[in-house]
Amino acid sequence: MQPQASKPTEWREIDVIYDPETIAGRVRELGAEVTEYYDSGELLLLGTLKGSFMFMADLVRSIARAHQLEFIVAASYGKGVSSSGHVRLLYDPQAVFEGKHVLLIEDIVDSGATLNRLVRLLRTRDPLSLDICTLLHKHLAADLQLEPRFVGFDAPADFLVGYGLDYAERYRHLPFIGIMQEVDG
């Protein structure tokens, strides 16, 4: 049979930039950094869903000190590849933040709109400290309220998918992170 000039497969549209081993190694290092940084006090990890679910699951297993975890849901992207700039809070946990070290866990910092909104909100809840740990940082945001203290990778400005990151809710399950290429057919 003649090979078909078919549409590219789901896999071929994505160029892998961080493979599973690279991610696992860096996440273990981040866990060690977090463990060392917080030498006393109550620690609360606050993950942003859905993007950080896989990162959070791996990170907490590398943090060798007691901590609690919660999730918060904010949405800034619609179905496209660029931020709408408008951040909606879809789920806000009822947990007490007062007197705790709160570490916000993000999948990726792009425009910074989501982080700025969350940082402003969390500061009103009197945490003992507030810091950010992001797996990926595009370094595009001009006016971040708070620079991430822990960064997994300095990421390219491309649109990335996998390891929690989606494009229109697809690709979150991929065990690697890749650049999503424009589909040409």
Buried b (16+ CB within 10 A) or exposed e, 8-20: eeeeebbeebbee
We find the least distance from the C-beta atom of residue 102 to ligand IMP, in angstroms, to be: 17
We find the least distance from the C-beta atom of residue 93 to ligand IMP, in angstroms, to be: 17
Cβ distance to ligand IMP smaller for residue 34 or 160: 160
Q: Per-residue string for binding with Mg ion, 48-67, x by CB under 5 A?
A: ---x----------------
Instruction: Kindly state the number of chain residues that form the binding site for Mg ion, as judged by CB under 5 A.
Output: 1
Cβ distance to Mg ion smaller for residue 92 or 98: 92
Instruction: Report the distance separating Cα 155 and Cα 17, nearest Å.
Output: 9
Catalytic amino acids? 110
The residue count of the chain comes to 185
Specify which residues 101 forms β-bridges with. Answer: 43, 129
We find the least distance from the C-beta atom of residue 124 to ligand IMP, in angstroms, to be: 19
Q: Which does 108 bind (CB under 5 to 8 A by kind): ligand IMP, Mg ion, none?
A: ligand IMP
User: Which stretch in 8-16, 47-55, 91-99, 167-175 sits in contact with Mg ion by CB under 5 A?
Assistant: 47-55
Residue 71 CA from chain centroid, whole number: 12
Look up tokens 């943090």; give the residue.
63
Structure tokens at 3: 């090979």
47 binds Mg ion (CB under 5 A): no
Query: Contact positions toward ligand IMP, by CB under 6 A?
Result: 48, 51, 76-77, 83, 106-115, 159-161, 165
Q: Determine how β-strand 101-109 pairs with β-strand 129-137.
A: parallel
Structure tokens at 71: 């999730």
The DSSP element (H or E) to which 34 belongs, if any, is helix 20-37
We find the least distance from the C-beta atom of residue 168 to ligand IMP, in angstroms, to be: 10
Cβ distance to Mg ion smaller for residue 39 or 169: 169
Count of CB atoms situated within 10 Å of the CB of 42: 15
Instruction: Report the distance separating Cα 171 and Cα 149, nearest Å.
Output: 27
Applying CB under 5 A, the residues found at the interface with Mg ion are 51
